[in-house]
Structure 1
């Protein structure tokens, strides 16, 4: 084969390969997608994920299956996402504890949140509340602070594990109030909520999405919300800020991440599908009903917010001496 002929053949082959690759990418998704949620079923992120991905799946014509992998405050499940093939068929439904808190608490992380993942979209923020058993004497955040001051170290609180958002929220609450409280870690947020309902622990900060049904069903009492203003869903419940701890606010994220190396076209498509799902009035109503605020961002916006939050929580965790051990 002459040199010009060989060059033509190679060019033709390269063109065919590029065309095949483009067609393969353009065909995404051609099979079901798995979203690993490194948190327990029934948690705020899990509830939000199920609402949003159901609509996304309908829109893209493929099912998106939630795979709950709780444990180690999210480290294990997130690691599975990091190791997955970067083909757009394995995603992570993460909270900001996994993304911006845990990396500030472990000297040796099994993965790097910046290097091992591709940001897709901030889907929603989870609004939070302070809960106690229904027959507890505390009616407000101020009451809880008063009891904790009277009995240092005797009031205990549940969380979804060391370094979980529940842990961070209550540790910051105790620090700002100047009280000592005992931390009782559970395997997940749902278990911690049930621990309060069962009077195993005295209180907990929880995502409203996690405890809304328990509160409305009379299993838990909501004594404060961590939003700047009272929530429309619970207009009679004061904010923590107005009822004992001025300026205290806290919320958490539900964000979608993909393994590093996932094709940019797929990441952009996923982000667009999130935005499309969140534009659906029924989806927004379902999220709002569970205490979640729909967001939707570009991958670049999520990446910027994530890095800023990493720095913010790094400073807070260091100042309050919070560890994951």
Structure 2
């Protein structure tokens, strides 16, 4: 008799657990969002990720029926904001607005970063940065082939070209190292703490080259003759740059094409109904024509909306690509 009662209790407990697990997704779907949603941007206000995040908030607020705000949490190449997200509950109320630069490269370059790329899940890719090759106006080159030939001559003279980046392990560092590797031309990396001082030195001729994202002020500097735009490196481009050569047009760098994108991420393990709700809200916000205009001002090409499966594939491929480059240039965490 006692065994039968015990068996009934076990079966009842198992049935209750199963019912709870079936109801949990429904519960999440019904209660999310229970409070305001923060889009955590890993840089101060004004950068590309920040502009995109602010362009999304209005339509996402309407779609979710809850206020969506932007929270700027700069520092340590985006790792402070990343750790903040990982320290918060995996409930979708904190969403990271970033790129492979922070979530793939930073953990490999910054010893203090205690997270892995796999700790995050891409909800939606929102836009692609315009990557380009920029040099001071006084540098005696007008295209990528002339740049490589000039860099080779300088290296033979013992005065290799210098290229700037926003820090060790950033994509801009990797692009410079990769350019040096594929051409066999030595160049010197000059890391900066941010884009503003680097651009100032590029304009002044203190460094010779920048391979990376066009900023909001870059077109004006090119138009004013302060900088020369040699080529577009990314496959995606704004209409503004239709007449600018692609790096594929050069004789020596036809395969030197790279992408840097910005997207919305959540902690891995966030409930599936929450991820779907955020994906649907982001996709809806991306349909707003105003966002395309805002993105263009930040030199970002708005992406085509993707399914969650496609987003997962994009992130997986980016992790593999950048880890391979980092390994090939022997990137070490500092």
Match of 2:74 among 63, 66, 70: 70
Contact 1:209 1:292 survives alignment (8 Å): no
Aligned length: 321
Offset from partner CA, 1:212-266 (integer Å, 9 cap, x none): 4544663533221013487521233211221352221011121211123322211
Quote the residue 1:223 is aligned against: 230
Correspondence list, 1:253-264, <5 A: 253-264=261-272
Change in 2 beyond 3 A, CA 1:255/1:295: same
Offset from partner CA, 1:145-193 (integer Å, 9 cap, x none): 2332122253222212111111112221222222111112222345433
Match of 1:266 among 267, 270, 274: 274
Quote the residue 1:251 is aligned against: 259
Quote the residue 2:94 is aligned against: 90
Q: Is 1:174 aligned with 2:205?
A: no
Correspondence list, 1:197-216, <5 A: 197-215=203-221
**TM-score of the aligned structures, taking structure 1 as reference length:** 0.82
Contact 2:128 2:261 survives alignment (8 Å): yes
Correspondence list, 1:41-190, <5 A: 41-105=45-109, 109-114=113-118, 116-152=119-155, 154-190=160-196
Gaps of 5+ in 2: none
Higher-Rg member (1/2): 2
| Partner SS for 2:211 | strand
Cα separation, 2, equivalents of 1:312 and 1:132: 26
- Please identify, of 65-74 and 247-256, the stretch whose mean Cα deviation from structure 2 is larger: 65-74
Contact 1:57 1:63 survives alignment (8 Å): yes
Change in 2 beyond 3 A, CA 1:177/1:53: farther
CA RMSD of aligned residues (A): 3.6
**TM-score of the aligned structures, taking structure 2 as reference length:** 0.80
Change in 2 beyond 3 A, CA 1:91/1:250: same
- Measure how far apart 1:288 and its partner are: 4.3
- Please identify, of 122-131 and 134-143, the stretch whose mean Cα deviation from structure 2 is larger: 134-143
Change in 2 beyond 3 A, CA 1:138/1:59: farther
